[in-house]
């Protein structure tokens, strides 16, 4: 312990016409078990009350404190300073709308893509508030929960070369989200209907497999494994079931 940490922090307030984007340096004594979230709060309390950054839960559940830490998107609350060098450079996440300094609005972006993929259960059943909830197989519930672990922090989008080059690319979190509805039996959409939503170059076929998403995900979700499954499903759907039938012929022969 006892290191003096040098923070290089991006400063810019788009609401202030006199503000120009710049890097500002702060020095802070490192403390035991210090996270970036604690360090940023100490900077704001003791050095610069004007520094803007977001946090809510400080436990990697809310996804608010995502930022670019020494070049890699990550959560400030989950990053310990002892794992970082003496010099720590912080930038706001790219792609998203900048609110100021390290604070970005991921909400507008995620709402936009959720509407595009229609991220809700599509069903024709009328809801009966008095009926017992339908039962679900435990294993399936766990699979859905595994995909629902995403906190929409935006790290995977900021780490994606495609998302940065192509503004309309849906990104890993969104494809992961559609996978969640795909395996949910309550969603009655067919493969063809999913294809219409995500079987495009802005959707799953736009992914170039750069693996940035998977390598930075603070929740450790195997994002590219999920994208791979969806890509195969959608590629098979694009043939109008021809390839699917071919596979089923092979499967029958094997038996």
Partner 1 sequence: MSVDATVETYKGHRLAGWLDWLQMLTGLTLAVFIFAHMLFVGTVIFGANAFNWIASFFEKTYLAQIGGPILFFIFLLHGTLGARKMPFRTKEQKLIVRHAKMMHHRDTWFWVGQAVTGSILLVIAAIHMWTVLSDLPITAAKGAQEVQNTLWALFYVLLILCAGFHACIGLYRIGVKWGFITRATRAKALKCIYILMGIYAGGELILLLRFLSLKV
Q: Which residues sit at the interface with partner 1, rule CB under 8 A?
A: 68, 71-72, 94-97, 108-109, 111-113, 115-116, 118, 159, 161-162, 164-165, 167-168, 170, 195-197, 199-203, 205-212, 214-215, 222, 224-225, 227-229, 231-232, 234-235, 237-240
Please give the C-alpha separations between residue 188 and each of 53, 73, 191, 247, in angstroms, as whole numbers.
41, 35, 10, 24
- Residue 180's SS3 state is helix
- Residue 72's SS3 state is strand
Nearer to partner 1, 59 or 183 (CB): 183
Least distance CB 167 / partner 1 (angstroms):
6
Segment (H or E) for 75: strand 72-75
Closest-CA residue to 118 (of 176, 181, 169): 181
Nearer to partner 1, 46 or 240 (CB): 240
Rounded to whole angstroms, how far apart are CA atoms 240 and 236?
7
Rounded to whole angstroms, how far apart are CA atoms 4 and 98?
29
Least distance CB 10 / partner 1 (angstroms):
12
Least distance CB 223 / partner 1 (angstroms):
9
Least distance CB 192 / partner 1 (angstroms):
8
Least distance CB 229 / partner 1 (angstroms):
5
Nearer to partner 1, 48 or 112 (CB): 112
Nearer to partner 1, 26 or 109 (CB): 109
Q: Which residue has the tokens 């990550």?
A: 74
According to DSSP, the residues that pair with 4 across neighbouring strands are 29
CB 76 within 8 A of CB 70: no
Nearer to partner 1, 28 or 237 (CB): 237
């Amino acid at each position: 312990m006892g290191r003096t940490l040098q923070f290089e922090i991006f400063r810019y307030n788009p609401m202030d016409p006199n503000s120009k984007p710049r890097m500002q340096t702060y020095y802070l004594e490192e403390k035991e078990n210090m996270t970036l979230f604690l360090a940023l709060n100490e900077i704001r309390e003791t050095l610069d009350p004007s520094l803007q950054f977001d946090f809510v839960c400080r436990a990697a559940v809310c996804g608010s404190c995502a930022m670019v830490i020494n070049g890699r998107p990550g959560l400030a609350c989950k990053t310990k300073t002892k794992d970082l060098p003496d010099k720590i450079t912080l930038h706001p996440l790219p792609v998203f709308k900048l609110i100021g300094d390290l604070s970005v609005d991921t909400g507008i972006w995620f709402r936009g893509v959720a509407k595009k993929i229609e991220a809700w259960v599509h069903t024709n059943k009328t809801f009966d508030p008095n009926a017992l909830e339908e039962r679900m197989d435990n294993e399936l519930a766990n699979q859905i929960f595994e995909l629902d672990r995403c906190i929409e922090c935006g790290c995977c989008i900021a780490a994606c070369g495609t998302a940065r080059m192509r503004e309309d690319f849906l990104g890993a979190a969104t494809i992961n989200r559609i996978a969640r509805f795909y395996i949910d039996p309550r969603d009655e959409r067919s493969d063809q209907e999913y294809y219409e939503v995500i079987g495009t170059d802005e959707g799953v076929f736009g992914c170039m497999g750069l693996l940035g998403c998977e390598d930075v995900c603070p929740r450790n979700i195997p994002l590219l494994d999920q994208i791979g499954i969806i890509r195969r499903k959608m590629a098979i759907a694009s043939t109008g079931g021809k390839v699917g039938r071919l596979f089923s012929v092979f499967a029958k022969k094997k038996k």
